[in-house]
Chain A
Amino acid sequence: MRHLCVAALAVTLLFPAVGRAGDVALIVNPKNPVADLTWAEVVAIFKAEQQHWKAGERIYLILQESGTPERALLLKRVYLMSDVELKHFWLAKLFRGEIAAFPRVVASNAAAKRIVAQAPNALAFIDAAAVDSTVKALRIDGLKAGEPGYALAVPSP
């Protein structure tokens, strides 16, 4: 029994927020004090309406490139746009002076994790199954990826 408890603790420490494969987890640097966002905050951050963490640091937003299932889920749930519409959305933001550069786009969950692990202010989204101890997965409205009612859960087949 003791060995089982130790093993369970080790798994929890090594894989603190593993969710259901296909669910999308929002990840930040482990040093980031933020642990939970409301859905309204998630939408505001990914639409660049909120560009600073509550502590004042600027949010460094990382998106995944077109064609990834994680981006597809964000487009459907957060942006309510197609890929082309999202590109136009960022271009309009840039033109209005609301952003000075387009968000960083990466090709994979691994690339997103590498940046988040290095950048204290970064926020990215990855497959929840890819979360490991180098990053911290955020709760959304108090729920972790994999829990019922999680806002970025993959639709049930």
Chain B
Amino acid sequence: MAQPHPPPADEAAPEEAPPPKLVVKGFGNVDFRDEFDGPRTLEFSLGQLDLFVTSALTDNLTFLAEIVFEPGDEEKVVDVERYQIQYSRSDLFNVALGRMHTMLGHWNHAYHHGTWFQTTAFRPEVYRFEDEGGVLPVHELGLRMFGSRAFGRNRMEYSVSLANGRGPVASTFENFRDFNRSKAFTAWLALTPAPLPGLKFGGVVRSDRIPPDPADPARAVSMTERIVGGFFTYQRRRTEVLGEVLALRHREEGGAGREFGTSGFYVQASHRFGRLTPYYRFEGLDRGADDPYYPSSADLRRHIAGLRADPWSSAAVKVELSRDAPDPGPSFSAATLQVAFTF
């Protein structure tokens, strides 16, 4: 939300407001990964280069954009991940219009492309991006109303949005059209109870109608999508515990009316000792068997243990060991060294 245009500290107030300032920040990471068994890889890789810009156009109007450069993908090098204009009437009433991160729980809007923000090297599998085979609509294009209100020392936050629904293919995101007239509706609510400092919890419901895919005989009919999720975060100065669970259900319209359920979860804990933060995460993803909307139906259980070091205020080094147990498929372990930074 905007800071009102200030008068200069050492001058008289100008007659006209100064032009909007553009704030530009960037985030990036470089990884080195070794998979000990199973696929057996040993490689360096570039993470996303995330350019984040925001500007207070007036006291109540702000613009925000996030442009991600994805090195190595020749067909799609630049992606506008966020592009939104926001009007703020009060703490309780704000409206944003454009492309945004879907409010699904905590991780998706708290970290998203900003790898440096997250304690771990990688995001949970349930929050994998759409174009990387993810199961959730982590972006949306539409209208969102959101805000917060204090009740005594407790605080409530809400977000409701109406957006273009998902397209016929899960891995694509359309910036210019919707494939049907029905819109995705998302309602998110979070509470921060004062008696338990650092704790926040909440939930989300989302409904959508996914159009058929003319190119895929298995997707000949539309399907409804329902997402229900819950999350909690416990964040104190040195300790962080996060947990989320999301359940997604697809139901074909007409015909046999088949139903497919997918669910994912993670729980993550870390504690900082000076500049070092050891962490652990357990996560899982159970894809609905034979859900025609997803190209894969592989399930996953994953343990991650790592150490994050923050030797500098703008860069972190993360060393992470993981053990993946896909189903079907052989289990494998991997080690990752990541340098994540902001500039």
Contact = CB atoms under 8 A, between A and B. Distances in A.
A145 B109 CA distance: 39
Interface stretch (B39-47, B88-96, B215-223): B88-96
21 contacts: A40-B150, A56-B90, A58-B4, A87-B313, A91-B342, A94-B25, A94-B52, A94-B54, A96-B109, A97-B86, A98-B1, A99-B1, A99-B2, A100-B1, A100-B62, A100-B64, A101-B2, A101-B54, A111-B10, A118-B7, A122-B6
A99 B6 CA distance: 15
B148 interface: yes
A96 B110 contact: yes
Interface string B55-93: 110011011100000000000000000101010111100
Nearest to B92: A52
Interface residues of B, number: 43
Contacts of A10: none
Interface string A126-143: 000000000000000000
A40 B62 contact: no
A44 B156 CA distance: 12
A26 to B, nearest CB: 17
Contact of A95 (B86, B88, B117): B117
A58 B9 contact: no
Contact of A115 (B7, B88, B148, B152): B7
Nearest to A81: B237
Interface stretch (A13-21, A102-110, A148-156): A102-110
B3 A80 contact: no
A6 interface: no
A114 interface: yes
A7 B2 CA distance: 44
Nearest to A107: B9
B88 A97 contact: no
A56 B152 CA distance: 19
A111 B110 CA distance: 34
A49 B155 contact: yes
A143 to B, nearest CB: 18
Interface of A: 40-41, 44, 48-52, 56, 58, 60-62, 80-81, 84-85, 87-88, 91-92, 94-104, 106, 111, 114-115, 118-119, 121-122
A121 B62 CA distance: 18
Contact of B23 (A51, A62, A101, A106): A101
From B60, B63, B313, name the one whose CB has the most chain A CB atoms within 10 angstroms.
B313
A87 B25 CA distance: 13
B181 interface: no
A119 B1 contact: no
Contacts, number: 104
B10 A114 contact: yes
B116 to A, nearest CB: 9
Contacts of A87: 313
A84 B313 contact: yes
Contacts of A99: 1-3
A92 B64 contact: no
Give the 5 A-B residue pairs with the shortest CB-CB distance, closest first: A100-B62, A100-B56, A100-B2, A118-B7, A40-B153
A95 B52 contact: yes
Given A80-B237, A99-B2, A101-B54, A40 B25 contact: no
B256 interface: no
A60 B3 contact: yes
Contacts of A115: 6-7, 9
Given A49-B155, A99-B1, A104-B3, 7 more contacts: A52-B91, A61-B3, A94-B25, A97-B86, A98-B1, A106-B9, A118-B7
B177 interface: no
A41 B155 CA distance: 11
Contacts of A91: 25, 342
Contacts of B6: 60, 62, 104, 115, 119, 122
Contact of B1 (A48, A84, A85, A95): A48
A28 to B, nearest CB: 14
Contacts of B7: 115, 118-119
B117 A92 contact: yes
B54 A92 contact: no
Contacts of B9: 106, 111, 114-115
B54 A97 contact: yes
Interface in B1-55: 1-4, 6-7, 9-10, 12-13, 21, 23, 25, 52, 54-55
